Amino acid sequence: MKLREYEAKKIIREYGIPVPAGFLIQSADELPVHLAELGENIVLKAQVDVGGRGKAGGILMADRKNAVATAQDLFKKEIKGLPVREVLAEQRLGIQHEYYLSITVDRSSKQPLILFTEAGGVDIEITAKEHPEAIRTAIANPLMREIPPFMLRELVGMAPKEIGPIINRLYRVFLEKDALLAEINPLVTTPQGVFAADAKLIIDDNALGRQGFAVNRDLTDREREAEKYGFSYVELDGTIGVIGNGAGLTMSTLDLIGFYGGKAANFLDVGGGAESERVMHAVRLVGSVPSVKVIVVNLLGGITKCDEVAKGIIAADIPQKVIVRLAGTNEAEGRAMLSEKGYEMLDTMDLVVRKAVEVAA
Amino acid sequence: MIYGDKKTGVLVQGATGKQGEFHIGLMNAYAREVGARGVVAGVTPGKGGKEVHGVPVYNTVKEAMRDHDISASVIFVPAMAAADSIMEEAHAGIETIVAITEHIPVHDTMKALAFAKMEGCSVIGPNCPGLLSPGEVKMGIMPAGLFLRGNVGVISRSGTLTYEVVDELTRAGIGQSTVVGIGGDPVIGQTFVDVLQRFEKDPQTKAVVLIGEVGGNLEEEGAKSTDLPIVSYIAGISAPPDKRMGHAGAIVEGGEGDARSKIGRLRKLGVPVASRPSEIPDMVRDLFKGHC
């Protein structure tokens, strides 16, 4: 789950990384009391859960005189379709140089990867493409709680020495907050010292509970409902509902729908060990999407038992046609139960998908 | 065989849980069928002295290792405790650990894998179905009925999609040497590269089916690392960007790891890529015509 800028900045400040003076406001009326502390030059940043908000007009420059009026304008805006409910009002820094610093999970080395470049302020993907030599990297050992000084020297190079301790503090944030990404872009030098002008934290969805988050804000309402039952659910824009077990098989079923010229309405992975009640909820959830004309259930039993699945499909009892493919653990029992109730069962994935594409057309 | 054979003694952690108990039964049914040792001990803290399907349960891995000759293990422990189980087993001297558990926080996995590496232990998974060498050994949850012994190795990031492909191969009369599910998490122990290295040293394996999905570039790294003939399939060509497709690791991020560019890179390396699972058997046959 991606944290909002003000949440990320609050956390990194607690770990000793300097951030500009700033206040979160819910309306322009709250701004005047903070103006004395914000100084002459102010930046107003919409706190919305979308990327690229700067280009979408979500970041406005102001001075002390026009700050309230500018904030009023910002609160009236929609940024990529989202209303602006919260604004971070910050002191605008006298920037001398912009750096980029991030820590991510590196799949290849299976360890934290630290990236630092003196070409900050721009998208790191662009720098990586155009000036890969400008990016310095280090792989950290996740069993060590600190980055050794030699590694900091290699990363920082001739940039100001104060950046070393900041890297170490961000590394502690990364470890202790279960972050998948901890990014400061830009990290800026000013006459007053080094500051994190922007900050981004993405928390591992599998660690939200122990990090004190009750809900995953990145999910839509239906995705959140699906999560309650332990499903992975992604909404798409077609007419064929897809229920599978296992992410790979479910993805492959979507791809096959495309291959045969259809369009999937969703991706629902019931997960391993699906009990009949959960399968019932899965079928009902997909059946409740208005655009769904037909549902493909493609299940191979490993940890999932086919008889449980059959019970769930029958119990769901939805109006749309459900076309089933079942194979694996307790397969014979599951098949018998479904045939008895008149469900259409086909032997292969290609056959169920082709049939569903026909029905949907 | 890679990772184990009939003589491998297997330990199960989380033995008294619902999944652990169910799969000890299935693993040992398979072991009896092929004449293998199978699961010889279970571990659940606080449940020492019990039995699951006749398998003795211990409180700690070290206690189980004192009484039994064990070189591999399968973990069914819940997510928040599973990384600790990996470390306990690595520390006790187990060589191969199969971590079935899904939803382990990535930071726990990174630490457990770094620890296991120091102990010289190979971890398969987490968030994986384990492995099966037909006629020899089953460590994990793969449905044994679909498999046929033969010369094709299979490596996959998925569980059920692997069964789908194995089913297609078996129906076409193409047997498998060892099928390994390496897991759907962004950080996993054994990657395509590691398993391919084992297949290269395995005289039984003549070709490999590499089943990947969106996210990262471990498939390309694997294909680059080997001279074995490979057929590949990549799931997720219809996956929208920045959406996690079921697996924690199946996500197209920052414009990277999407199926089309992955397939493009694999084809550039000379690897034939199937556009649907049912095409794989014929493509494997073509490989054999060309190479063997």
Dist. CA B201–CA B236, nearest whole Å: 31
For residue A71, give both structure tokens. 């904030």
pLDDT at position B79, please?
A: 97
Side chain identity at residue B34, one-letter code: V
Q: What is the pLDDT of residues B90-128, one digit of tens each?
A: 999 999 999 999 999 999 999 999 999 999 999 999 999
pLDDT, residue B181, reads 98
Region of B103 (left: φ > 0; alpha: ψ -120 to 50; beta: rest) is left
Residue A345 contacts by C-beta under 8 Å, 6 or more apart in sequence? A323, A324, A325, A326, A335, A338, A339
Per-residue model confidence (pLDDT) at position A126: 84
Query: Which chain A residues touch B154 with a CB distance below 8 Å?
Result: none
CATH class, range A221-360: alpha beta
Helix, strand or coil for residue B210? strand
Percent of chain B with pLDDT over 90: 90
- Name the residue in chain B with its Cα closest to that of A326: B164
pLDDT of residue A303: 59
Give the pairing type, strands B130-133 and B176-181. Answer: antiparallel
Contacts of A133 (CB under 8 A, 6+ apart): none
What Cα–Cα distance (Å) separates residue A178 from each residue in A101, A107, A202, B187? 18, 16, 9, 14
- Averaged pLDDT score across all residues of chain B: 95
Over range B247-274, report the average pLDDT: 90
The pLDDT score that the predictor gives to residue B41 is: 98
User: Which chain A residue lies closest to B245 (C-alpha atoms)?
Assistant: A247
Q: Which of A210, A328, A348 lies nearest to residue B163, judging by beta carbons?
A: A328
pLDDT at residue A158, as a whole number: 94
Site of tokens 């322009």: A28
Q: Given this model, what pLDDT does residue A163 score? A: 97
| Residue B251 vs residues A52, A111, B195, B245: alpha-carbon distances, Å | 19, 18, 23, 6
Contact B269, B212 (CB under 8 A): no
Nearest to A206 among B104, B157, B214 (CB): B104
Please state, in angstroms and as integers, the Cα–Cα distance from residue B200 to each residue in A227, B228, B229, B281, B288, following that order: 41, 7, 10, 21, 16
Annotated domain spans of chain A: 21-91, 97-207, 221-360
Could you confirm whether B247 is annotated as catalytic? yes
Query: Closest Cα of chain A to B107: distance in Å?
Result: 6
Note the pLDDT tens digit of each residue in B170-198: 999 999 999 999 999 999 999 999 999 99
Q: Are B87 and B112 in contact (CB under 8 A)?
A: yes
- Would the pTM count as exceeding 0.95? no
Q: Is the ipTM of this complex over 0.90?
A: yes
Of A268, A263, A262, A276, give the one whose Cα is nearest residue A222.
Answer: A268
Please state which CATH class domain A21-91 belongs to.
alpha beta
Please give, rounded to a whole number of angstroms, the shortest distance from the CA of A32 to a CA of chain B. 39
- Please report the pLDDT score of residue A301 as a whole number: 67
Q: How confident is the model at residue A273 (pLDDT cuts 50, 70, 90)?
A: low
Judge contact between A101 and A195, C-beta under 8 A.
no
Alpha-helical regions (H) of chain B: 18-34, 61-67, 79-92, 106-118, 160-171, 192-200, 218-225, 259-268, 280-291
Task: Evaluate if residue A304 carries a pLDDT over 80.
Answer: no
Q: Which one of A255, A257, A333, A346 makes the best mutation probe of the B interface by having the most chain B beta carbons within 10 Å?
A: A255
Is residue A145 pLDDT above 80, yes or no? yes
CATH of B142-291, one of 3.40.50.970, 3.90.950.10, 3.40.50.261, 3.50.50.60: 3.40.50.261
What are A30-52's pLDDT values in tens digits?
999 999 999 999 999 999 988 77
With H, G, I as helix, E, B as strand and everything else as coil, classify residue B227.
coil
- Which pLDDT score is estimated for B291? 57
How far A128 CA lies from chain B's nearest CA (Å)? 11
Q: Which two tokens stand for residue A294?
A: 């037909």
Angle between helices B259-268 and B218-225 (to 10 degrees): 10
pLDDT at residue A15 is higher than 80: yes
Task: Choose the weakest-confidence range: A347-351, B24-28, B79-83, B242-246.
Answer: B242-246
- Residue B251 has a pLDDT of 87
Nearest CA to B74 out of B106, B107, B30 is that of: B30
At residue B260, the pLDDT reads: 93
Phi and psi of A51, rounded to 5°? -85, 165
* Percentage above 90 pLDDT, chain A: 75
CATH topology of domain B9-124: Rossmann fold (3.40.50)
Domain at A97-207, CATH from 3.40.50.300, 3.30.470.20, 3.40.630.40, 3.90.1150.10: 3.30.470.20
Amino acid at A154: E
Which sequence spans correspond to the domains of chain B?
A: 9-124, 142-291
Return the residue matching tokens 């005189």: A65
